[in-house]
A and B are shown apart, each in its own frame.
Chain A
Amino acid sequence: MNLTACLLLSAALFSIGAYGLVTRRNMIAALMSLELMVNAALINFIAFARFGGTHAGQGDAQAGSLFALFAVAVTAAEMALALAIVVAVHRQRRHLDIRELDGLHG
């Protein structure tokens, strides 16, 4: 396991997430894709904290781990909020298909 492997993994996760967000029609699936993208960033943080980044000299390894921790909490809150909105959409429309969400237009 080295830095490059971790970065490749996170890049793959991020791309899968972005692809899923664009292509999935169900809103919950889109949120899951979003979670993948965030997790890619978390892997980056931990990898940089563990192996050191591309910079010269001593980095602050604690900061990266700590950021990952904060990001997990923030994402949890964000997803909770997103799911609440999903419930609201479902109540109004009885479906969660993103492409059918076209009530707003100019």
Chain B
Amino acid sequence: MTLAEFTPLLPDLLLLALALAVLKIDLWSEDGEAGFHLTWIGLAGLALLLAFGSRSDAVFADYHITAASRVWKLLFTLATLATVFLSRPYFRAGGNARGTLAKSGAFFGLLLLCMQGMFALVSAGNLIVFYLGLELATMPIYALAAYQPRDADSAEAGSKYVLMGGFSSALTLFGISFLYGATGSLGFPALEAAVRAAPADPALWGGIFFLLGGLGFKLAMAPLHMWAPDVYQGAPTPVMAFLSVASKAAAVAALATLFLSPLNAVRPDLAPCFAAAAVLSMVAGNLGAMRQKDLRRFVAYSSVAQVGYMLLAMLGEGDGSRAALVYNLVTYGVTGFALYFIMGVIGKEGPETMSGLRGLSRRHPGLAVLLVLCMFSLAGVPPLAGFLGKFMLFSAAAAEGHYLLVGIAVANAVVSFYYYMLVVKEAYIAPPGEAAAIRLRPLQIMVLWGLGLALLVLGVCPAPADWLARAAGN
């Protein structure tokens, strides 16, 4: 084995080095500036490396580097990068009305370690690596959810997440133990062969249901979503952003990694299960989101509904589904982060609630327009990114003949339009009294423009979708 053979592994190793370096810098730098710059430069470099670097696949025992895993990793990297930028004002004194976050070095270190877990998760060729990746991708978020100093809500969110997360990992572990018992092996190829050979083994099905329960919790799929609103609301906004995009993507990746490859043989039998969970998630998410006043809680319910749409892809056939999932996560990530940056902007002076949005059209017309674009995209209105994401998901399910489900999903999308418009309405209500104009920082302007353009480009230009479909489809 020569050194050159390790080049496909380079992003994973660099990420580890970056995480350790950020933690190390944190020991000496007083204000955390150096840690912030190292983190974002490192992540940007990593994204470039993943997008344009080595394209060769490699197998290191049970760690598989494939084109599909590279796409997932790129997605995680970009989501983390956006989270790092989003967290910038939250660490600055007076940057947020809820209070200033402290210890940015540890914060970024935990984010990077979390990402390392996600990397392992999508490269897993073995249930051990899969489980370790899943746990590493979850555990730092327990700490991050409780990160707001001297804040009872944040501590409560952390405790709820750690109990629910612990429960879900116990379920996952119990499920994996039965999979092991049913197949006698933990490697994915052997697992696949065993599942094909004896698809009706009761131990296998016991394992699958526990596993599905555990992953369902992580994914916040109804009826296992009740932790999400509390955790999203209590956690600091950057952590909520990471949870709703990166962590959600990791859970979807976990589901796709298992059920679109080694357990693919039993997936048709699971279709009713996925369909029921999809419908429940859409309905629970949409009904819940209608009543919310707090924006973080609103995001939680809206993301539960998004999970419902994404579960439709699990009904479709392998490659198309994977591409649809990835593309939808990209569009959801772009839209979500645009919304979270707006929340960050209004959170500087007031609470991050619906009424906090009031007068946005007066205070900064550009932001209000971006908010409208976001909400249209989340609802799936045609020329925007969210539409194409939903379209790909629905067509993946429709290709397999699930027309009724697609009908229900479209109906739900129409209903969701109502409450997304409620948010827009708030932004165009003029508050009584004088509204101070909002002044944005250069970083915020840059990111907001980037996300806004991406919202439009990803919706009208099919080239990125094609590229992702080819890359993720393997």
Contact = CB atoms under 8 A, between A and B. Distances in A.
B153 A27 contact: no
Nearest to B140: A81
A92 B148 CA distance: 12
B158 interface: yes
Contact of A34 (B157, B158, B163, B291): B163
A58 B185 CA distance: 9
B167 A34 contact: yes
A93 B152 contact: yes
A54 interface: yes
B128 A106 contact: no
Select the residue from B132, B173, B185, B186 with max chain A CB neighbours within 10 A.
Answer: B173
Nearest to B151: A92
Nearest to A73: B132
Interface in B88-116: none
Contact of B186 (A40, A63, A92): A63
A84 interface: yes
B155 interface: yes
A2 to B, nearest CB: 14
Interface string A18-42: 0001000001001100100110111
Nearest to A80: B139
Interface range, A side:
35 or more
B156 to A, nearest CB: 5
B162 A77 contact: no
B135 A89 contact: no
A70 B184 contact: no
Given A27-B163, A78-B169, A88 B155 contact: yes
B124 to A, nearest CB: 13
A77 B117 CA distance: 14
Interface stretch (B49-57, B227-235, B390-398, B438-446): B227-235
Select the residue from B150, B152, B292 with max chain A CB neighbours within 10 A.
Answer: B152
A47 B156 CA distance: 38
B198 A55 contact: yes
A6 to B, nearest CB: 10
Nearest to A69: B128
B155 to A, nearest CB: 5
Given A70-B132, A85-B155, A59 B185 contact: yes
B251 interface: no
Contacts of A91: 155
A70 B131 contact: yes
B167 A104 contact: no
Interface in A51-101: 52-60, 63-64, 66-67, 70-71, 74, 77-78, 81-82, 84-86, 88-89, 91-93, 98, 101
B234 A104 contact: yes
A71 B128 CA distance: 9
A36 B466 CA distance: 48
Given A55-B184, A63-B185, A31 B166 contact: yes
A74 B203 contact: no
- Summarize B's interface: helix, strand, loop or mixed: helix
A105 B234 CA distance: 10
Interface residues of B, number: 56
Contacts of A82: 142, 162-163, 166
Nearest to A48: B181
B108 to A, nearest CB: 18
Given A71-B173, A81-B162, A89 B156 contact: yes
B317 to A, nearest CB: 27
B223 to A, nearest CB: 15
Interface string B205-248: 00000000000000000000000011001100000000000000
Contacts of A59: 183-185
B155 A89 contact: yes
Contact of B139 (A10, A21, A77, A106): A77
A44 to B, nearest CB: 4
User: Lowest 6 A-B CB distances belong to which pairs?
Assistant: A59-B184, A53-B181, A44-B177, A37-B170, A48-B181, A41-B173
Interface of A: 10, 14, 17, 21, 27, 30-31, 34, 37-38, 40-42, 44-45, 47-48, 52-60, 63-64, 66-67, 70-71, 74, 77-78, 81-82, 84-86, 88-89, 91-93, 98, 101, 103-106
25 contacts: A31-B163, A34-B166, A37-B171, A44-B178, A48-B180, A53-B203, A55-B181, A55-B198, A57-B184, A59-B184, A60-B184, A60-B186, A66-B128, A67-B180, A74-B169, A81-B142, A82-B163, A86-B159, A89-B155, A92-B150, A92-B152, A103-B153, A104-B156, A104-B160, A104-B234
Given A37-B170, A67-B131, 19 more contacts: A10-B177, A34-B170, A40-B174, A42-B173, A55-B184, A56-B197, A56-B198, A63-B185, A64-B180, A64-B186, A67-B127, A67-B180, A71-B131, A71-B173, A85-B159, A89-B156, A104-B153, A104-B157, A104-B229
